[in-house]
Each structure stands twice: as C-alpha cells, then as structure tokens.
Amino acid sequence: MKLTGKQTRAWLLNFSAKIQEKKQDLNDLDQAIGDGDHGSNMARGVHAVEEAIKNENHTPASEILKKAAMAMVSKVGGASGPLYGTAFLEMAKVIDTEELPTVLAAGLDGVKKRSKADADEKTMADMWAPVVKALQEKKLTKDVINESVEATKELKATKGRASYLNEGSIGHLDPGSVSSSYLFFALLEEVDVNE
C-alpha cells in the first residue's frame, strides 16, 4: 500500500500525541544512560511538527514529511532531531511513489546514514531494522514492535551518549528506540499496514 497525505498527517499527529503523553517516561529512561532530556526534546519537536502540519489537509505525503522533518531538526535540540529529521526527509523522497515498506526502509537508511551506527550498537537503528523487515513480510504487529524495543535492553551502547557508560548501558532500554516504537504504534493504529 501507498500512504496518502491524509494518512501521513494522521500518523504523525498520533505519534505526536503519544510522545507528549510519554514525555516523562522518556526523560526517565534517558536519565539512566544519557542526559535525561529525550522526552522533553521529543515533545518540543513533535509540538512543532503538529504546528507545521495541522492545517495541511490536502498536502501530498512528501510535503507533510518534509515539514515534519524540518520541525524536528529545528526544535528538538538533541541528536534525535537530526535522526528523526533525516529519517523523515529520506522517507519524503519516496513516499509519493513507493509502497510503505520501501518508505520505512528509506527512513531506516536515513537513521543509519546520520548515526553511522551498525547493528547492535544500541541505537534507534536496532529498533527500526526488525520492524522494517516485518513490514516487508507483511507481519508487523504490536508484539514485533515491543520485542524490537526490548531487544535493545541487553545491548551495550557503542554509539551516542550512552556509549560513555560502556558496560553500564547494558540492562537499560535505548530511549530513542522507545520513542521510535511510538512512531510505529501510531502507524499501526492509523493504517492497515499488512494490507
């Protein structure tokens, strides 16, 4: 399936609501292995996304994503700004013409390009990869998303702020993967992804 502008807008607004609801949880997770501001940063970013797209009822999906990307890049203030921003920009390049799994695969490539992270470095990429794979196989469920997040717990961070903790990062969820899970839960709620 291909996403329309309307669906893309609904998806991102849903994501925004989830992030704002979980802001404190995300801060708490980040406090354990980072600088404790992931929830506040993301909440500021998605609020700007909302402002940028709320009245865009007839805008193509690519334009919605570009607006969202620039809002994240400008307003987040932490690494998640460029990371989500690049993911959205890469998705914007293909969303009007390609099927959903290809779009999210482009997003994952964007995350990897920006973070320079390989697999198992305890970053968003570790959460996105199994989700994109499941989507390609038309098997994306809430369980897949939850398992992808949980799997980051036992990884040792070798990229990002948590990498300064070395072994100390093991046993904690990666906050960026948790916020990413809300992006995919929102997608599941708004769109029949396995159609």
Q: Which residues bind other proteins (CB under 8 A)?
A: 35, 37, 41, 73-79, 81-83, 85-86, 114-115, 159-161
Q: How far is the CB of 80 from other proteins (least distance, A)?
A: 8
Q: How far is the CB of 33 from other proteins (least distance, A)?
A: 14
Query: What would the two tokens of residue 28 be?
Result: 């708490």
Query: What would the two tokens of residue 147 be?
Result: 């398992």
Nearer to other proteins by C-beta: 39 or 81? 81
Nearer to other proteins by C-beta: 153 or 161? 161
Structure letter (DSSP) for residue 78: S
Query: What would the two tokens of residue 32 be?
Result: 């354990």
Structure letter (DSSP) for residue 191: S
Contact 134, 142 (CB under 8 A): no
Q: How far is the CB of 85 from other proteins (least distance, A)?
A: 6
Nearer to other proteins by C-beta: 5 or 107? 107
How many other CB atoms are found less than 10 A from the CB of residue 185?
Answer: 16
Q: How far is the CB of 36 from other proteins (least distance, A)?
A: 10
How many other CB atoms are found less than 10 A from the CB of residue 4?
Answer: 15
Contact 33, 72 (CB under 8 A): no
Cα separation of 128 and 43, whole Å? 20
Nearer to other proteins by C-beta: 79 or 186? 79
- Euclidean distance between the first and final Cα of the chain, in Å? 7
Q: How far is the CB of 163 from other proteins (least distance, A)?
A: 9
Nearer to other proteins by C-beta: 70 or 191? 70
